[in-house]
Amino acid sequence: MRCDLLEQEGYSVVLCNHPLEALRCDLSAFSLAIVDFEMPVINGRDLLLRLRALGARFPVVLLSGSVDDLSDDDRILFSRCISKGSPVQRLLDTLVEFLNSNEIPDFGA
């Protein structure tokens, strides 16, 4: 559903149904990633760390139903943490903020 919304807003979206799929993508083609925390095989933190180890320098936004349960050590790794219960406009505003080519993302904000 969010994928459709983002495409309607004009974003090019690559949907990975499994976190390990993301690790097989050409990361140089991406400007931002939106990940969940609780996923099969690896969680969002481990996916982010693997993406960084592969050279990903783009913002990684956590969109999760368990944001309030995460430790500060986990939260600080992500460029932004957004609860799935938040209004969709918060996600859209975050994308506009991070995809502004004149700004360098503030990782961990």
**pLDDT tens digits, one per residue of 14-37:** 999 999 999 999 999 999 999 999
The average pLDDT across 66-73 equals: 94
How high is the pLDDT of residue 1?
Answer: 83
Q: What is the pTM of this model?
A: 0.88
Given the candidates 2.60.15.10, 3.90.10.10, 3.30.70.3400, 3.40.50.2300, the CATH classification of the domain at 2-99 is 3.40.50.2300
Tens of pLDDT along 32-69?
Answer: 999 999 999 999 999 999 999 999 999 999 999 999 99
Q: Where are the chain's structural domains?
A: 2-99
Distance, CA of 63 to chain centre: 7
CA 63, 68, 74, 80 torsion: positive or negative? positive
The average pLDDT across 61-79 equals: 95
Q: Are 51 and 22 in contact (CB under 8 A)?
A: yes
Tens of pLDDT along 86-109?
Answer: 999 999 999 999 998 555 555 544
Q: Could you give the angle at the alpha carbon of 68 between the alpha carbons of 40 and 41, nearest 5°? A: 10
Q: Are 14 and 30 in contact (CB under 8 A)?
A: yes
d(CA 22, CA 14): 9
Q: Compute the mean pLDDT over every residue in the chain, rounded to the nearest whole number.
A: 91
Q: Are 84 and 65 in contact (CB under 8 A)?
A: yes
Q: Are 23 and 33 in contact (CB under 8 A)?
A: no
